[in-house]
Amino acid sequence: MADEALSRLLSLRHGDPHALLGVHPVADGLFVRVFRPEAFRVELEIAGARHRLEPRSDHPGVFEGHLPGREVPTYLVHVEYPGGASFSFRDPYAFLPTIGEHDLHFISEGTHLRLWERLGAHPRHHQGVFGTSFAVWAPNAEGVSVVGDFNGWDGRLNPMRSMGPSGVWELFVPDVNEGTRYKFEIHPRDGAPFLKADPMALRTEVPPLTASVVHHLHHYRWSDGAWLARRKAAKRHLEPMSIYEVHAGSWRVVPEEGNRPLTWRELAPQLAEHVSRLGFTHVELLPVAEHPYGGSWGYQVSSYYAPTSRFGHPDDFRFFVDTMHQHGIGVIVDWVPGHFPRDAFALSRFDGTALYEHADPRRGAHPDWGTLIFNFGRNEVKNFLVANALFFVDEYHVDGLRVDAVASMLYLDYSRAPGEWVPNRFGGRENEEAITFLRELNETLRTQHPDVVVMAEESTSWPNVSRPVAQGGLGFTHKWNMGWMHDTLKYFEKEPIHRKWHHHQLTFGLLYAYSEDFVLPLSHDEVVHGKRSMLNKMPGDAWQQFANLRALYAWMWAHPGKKLLFMGGEFGQRQEWAEARSLDWHLLEDDAHRQLMELVGVLNETYRREGALFETDFHAQGFQWIQADSSDPSVYAFVRRGRNPWRELVCVANFTPVVRHDYRIGLPSGGWWAEILNTDDRQFGGSGVTNAPFKAHPKSWDGQPGSASLTLPPLGVIWLAPVDPPPAAQTP
């Protein structure tokens, strides 16, 4: 039996190498065994004395011997190789497991909320010795070794032990420190061994290199305590939210250094200054987790627990978040729990079987993106993802997650033809396992971090996405309003002469505006792949394009719902966005682009100041149409009301290039009114058609108690608010 066990050990298919290697008490003292392939001499050093071990001729590389005494001593192993090379090391097989039974129970149960602290690679002191503990979930492997810089990437040297039915393999390797590269060598039940990056790696090499890197999480010292306290105290749904969406690698580059992207530490102060100056409340980053292919924009993740090393060290990303918080800016990150790439070094068939994915391609393969779909029915997979969401909130202080491609998770037949998908147990198309996962995710985040936002990018009419789980919802805090985005852009892309025939495209969204807690996105997906930039979507000559875009932004900022604008849109990027090049910042030398950006700053400033524009985003009483059916002139007017009942704002839009003189608009109250914003103002590049402060006429109009005749600017939007009477109109 001993020889059979040794044969399995040497073939790296033994689940408990610690039972065979190291020092063990026996009847007549201590017995020691070391496995060092190709060595010709192995000695143990105990208290300064050396004890030579004898090689076994029947099992090359195995060295054994007996030692005096009854207690297992502290020792060093000295190894000599032909040619004179020699090494000394502490024996990994002298150490107890670094994972306890409680952790293994929670891992198997799928409820370990701090999974990243137990699996992966962790520098630590263990039994009085410094080193790194390694642990990986690979339940169907026959053997697992950890390989890396510390052992010449030789899988024979550090086989790991199986921690029983949990499927976890563990090993503590002394003297392995931060910055060490490593992978796991998997020995499947069938076939040749292969290398895998650590699914729980906290740091990686810079792509295209693929090794994991040992990293300690607790060196960085945060300075955002005041921000986190304010976030905790804030009433999220009553707060303004204006989001600037960013792809970190292409926001700005360094031309003097081959157009390389900015590092996290370089990006942080520049982006914070830009976003602060324009008045955005948050930045949203396209996925920051490590990904092998830059052209995926981060949406094909290979290392879920490692911020991409393209822009620096993990603590550099902490510095980025910290800097944003110190400037009063929240950080939301895109998160991709729906699918992952097929790259051989990553999660795909991790232990030689379909572990993270479904084995059946009708459930496990994504037809659109060539990726694999997580098996949400497996406890350990759900735990891997839920803990990952908590990880970025806990360890990187992010303020929210935008969950990508939720629709593809909810429907078993997403992008599949009949016969290409497997119905659920009731014969339906709903993915019950994914629904359960999303609810568990959102309930866990709500319990652990109730002040964090979780947004769904969900493009169908699935009900109650942003309603609590207890009420039958999915539990997200917000849902991207994809319908509003598509309808609005289709309308604005039309020549103004045709818009009267499509008037309903801007009113339809109000029929469902309060069915969810919506974010209005003008996102990266709308300015790529031939869809044209925001500016170039607009019809007409250059002046009309800018006028249309100014009007679109003012319409959006007045509309119920939180706001999101992709980078470059603030100054009218002409080219479509491409991840491999910088935004065209030189355009700001042109007045029209600079003035558009000035408008965005004023929109955010006014929006954040006026509670009527955000306090009732998710309550129908905060909105009322004044003119919803003036299709022939393409005019719209509505009221926004905040929690302060007397403060009512009116938005009036004229989406034709025709100036509308003496155009009567109903107003919700009498007294004096004034424009607080006009997109046709000359400071924004407009033609200067504005209205002086005016007193509402008591004449009822549009179902409102008062009214006024206004001049509506061409392709313009105006915001009106009650004001104190001007001095000339006041009674002495």
CATH of the domain at 623: 2.60.40.1180
The pLDDT of residue 644 is 81
The pLDDT of residue 732 is 43
Nearest in space to 514 (alpha carbons), one of 470, 569, 561, 568: 561
234-287 pLDDT, tens digit per residue, is: 988 899 999 999 999 999 999 999 999 999 999 999 999 999 999 999 999 999
Q: How far is CA 610 from CA 520, 534, 616, 640, 642, in A?
A: 18, 26, 11, 10, 8
Give φ, ψ of 201 to 5 degrees. -55, 135
Residues 147 and 81 in one domain: no
For a pLDDT cut of 90, what percent of the chain falls above it? 92
Cis peptide before 423 (omega within 30 of 0): no
Q: How far apart are CA 720 and CA 703, in angstroms?
A: 18
Is 457 assigned a catalytic role?
Answer: yes
566 within a domain of the structure (yes/no): no
pLDDT averaged over every residue in the chain: 95
Residue 209 has pLDDT above 70, yes or no: yes
Residues 36 and 117 in one domain: no
Is 404 assigned a catalytic role?
Answer: yes
* Band of residue 43 on the pLDDT scale cut at 50, 70, 90: very high
Residues 82 and 136 in one domain: no
Q: Where is the domain boundary, 152, 185, 213? A: 213
57 within a domain of the structure (yes/no): yes
Q: Where is the domain boundary, 62, 90, 118? A: 90
Mean pLDDT value across residues 137-163: 97
Q: How far apart are CA 561 and CA 556, in angstroms?
A: 9
Instruction: Give the domain CATH number at 81.
Output: 2.60.40.10
Mean pLDDT value across residues 405-433: 94
Which residue among 433, 457, 617, 681 is the active-site one?
457
- Alpha helices by DSSP H, listed for 178-326, are 225-233, 264-278, 314-326
658 within a domain of the structure (yes/no): yes
Residues 78 and 107 in one domain: no
Residues 144 and 68 in one domain: no
For a pLDDT cut of 70, what percent of the chain falls above it? 99
| Alpha carbon 615 to its chain's center | 26
74-104 pLDDT, tens digit per residue, is: 999 999 999 889 999 999 999 999 999 999 9
Q: Measured between alpha carbons, how far apart are the two ends of the chain, in Å?
A: 109
72: DSSP letter: P
Residue 731 has pLDDT above 70, yes or no: no
Question: What range does the domain containing 36 cover?
Answer: 22-90
Residues 619 and 717 in one domain: yes
The region of weakest confidence among 47-56, 220-229, 330-339, 711-720 is: 47-56
* Sequence-distant (≥ 6) Cβ neighbours of residue 676 within 8 angstroms: 606, 610, 649, 719, 720, 721
369-408 pLDDT, tens digit per residue, is: 999 999 999 999 999 999 999 999 999 999 999 999 999 9
Residues 707 and 624 in one domain: yes
Residues 621 and 699 in one domain: yes
Residues 619 and 725 in one domain: yes
Q: Is the pTM of this model over 0.85?
A: yes
585: DSSP letter: G
Q: How many domains does the chain have?
A: 3
Mean pLDDT value across residues 697-712: 94
The pLDDT of residue 428 is 95
Mean pLDDT value across residues 532-560: 98
Residues 183 and 151 in one domain: yes
Residues 147 and 77 in one domain: no
Residue 729 has pLDDT above 90, yes or no: no
Q: How far apart are CA 336 and CA 354, in angstroms?
A: 19
178 within a domain of the structure (yes/no): yes
Q: How far apart are CA 87 and CA 44, in angstroms?
A: 12
Which residue among 404, 433, 516, 615 is the active-site one?
404
- Alpha helices by DSSP H, listed for 188-300, are 225-233, 264-278
Residues 651 and 705 in one domain: yes
Per mean pLDDT, which of 8-12, 64-68, 361-365, 407-411 is the most reliable?
Answer: 407-411
Residue 656 has pLDDT above 50, yes or no: yes
Q: How far apart are CA 625 and CA 297, in angstroms?
A: 40
Q: Where is the domain boundary, 158, 184, 213? A: 213
The pLDDT of residue 708 is 96
Q: How far apart are CA 309 and CA 489, in angstroms?
A: 36
